[in-house]
Amino acid sequence: MALSAHLHELAEKHRQLDRRISEEMSRPGSDDVVIRRMKQQKLKIKEEINRLSSASRH
Protein backbone atom coordinates (compact mmCIF):
# COMPACT_ATOMS: atom_id res chain seq x y z
CA MET A 1 0.00 0.00 0.00
CA ALA A 2 1.29 3.43 -0.89
CA LEU A 3 2.21 5.63 2.04
CA SER A 4 -0.31 8.33 1.10
CA ALA A 5 -3.11 5.77 0.89
CA HIS A 6 -2.11 4.34 4.26
CA LEU A 7 -2.06 7.83 5.81
CA HIS A 8 -5.48 8.53 4.33
CA GLU A 9 -6.83 5.27 5.78
CA LEU A 10 -5.40 6.10 9.21
CA ALA A 11 -6.87 9.61 9.07
CA GLU A 12 -10.28 8.15 8.25
CA LYS A 13 -10.05 5.71 11.18
CA HIS A 14 -9.11 8.66 13.40
CA ARG A 15 -12.20 10.62 12.25
CA GLN A 16 -14.47 7.60 12.77
CA LEU A 17 -13.17 7.08 16.30
CA ASP A 18 -13.71 10.77 17.02
CA ARG A 19 -17.35 10.45 15.93
CA ARG A 20 -17.84 7.25 17.95
CA ILE A 21 -16.35 8.89 21.04
CA SER A 22 -18.67 11.88 20.67
CA GLU A 23 -21.66 9.60 20.22
CA GLU A 24 -20.74 7.50 23.24
CA MET A 25 -20.15 10.57 25.41
CA SER A 26 -23.52 12.07 24.49
CA ARG A 27 -25.36 8.85 25.31
CA PRO A 28 -26.98 8.61 28.74
CA GLY A 29 -25.14 6.05 30.83
CA SER A 30 -22.08 6.16 28.61
CA ASP A 31 -19.35 3.66 29.44
CA ASP A 32 -16.18 5.40 30.62
CA VAL A 33 -14.06 2.31 29.97
CA VAL A 34 -15.22 2.13 26.35
CA ILE A 35 -14.56 5.85 25.90
CA ARG A 36 -11.07 5.55 27.40
CA ARG A 37 -10.21 2.63 25.09
CA MET A 38 -11.42 4.51 22.02
CA LYS A 39 -9.40 7.57 23.05
CA GLN A 40 -6.32 5.37 23.46
CA GLN A 41 -6.87 3.89 20.00
CA LYS A 42 -7.33 7.37 18.58
CA LEU A 43 -4.07 8.53 20.18
CA LYS A 44 -2.17 5.52 18.80
CA ILE A 45 -3.49 6.27 15.32
CA LYS A 46 -2.51 9.93 15.61
CA GLU A 47 0.99 8.95 16.75
CA GLU A 48 1.30 6.56 13.80
CA ILE A 49 0.16 9.28 11.38
CA ASN A 50 2.73 11.69 12.82
CA ARG A 51 5.48 9.06 12.73
CA LEU A 52 4.79 8.13 9.11
CA SER A 53 4.44 11.76 8.06
CA SER A 54 7.76 12.76 9.60
CA ALA A 55 9.49 9.65 8.21
CA SER A 56 8.30 10.47 4.70
CA ARG A 57 9.82 13.96 4.92
CA HIS A 58 13.33 12.62 5.53
pLDDT at 1: 64
pLDDT in tens, the chain (58 residues): 699 999 999 999 999 999 999 999 999 999 999 999 999 999 999 999 999 999 877 6
What is the domain count for the chain? 1
The answer to whether 39 and 25 are in contact (CB under 8 A) is no
pLDDT at 26: 96
pLDDT at 58: 67
Nearest Cα neighbor of 44 from 32, 36, 55 is 36
Query: 39: domain range?
Result: 3-57
pLDDT at 31: 94
What pTM does this model have?
0.86
- CA 11, 13, 17, 20 torsion-angle sign: positive
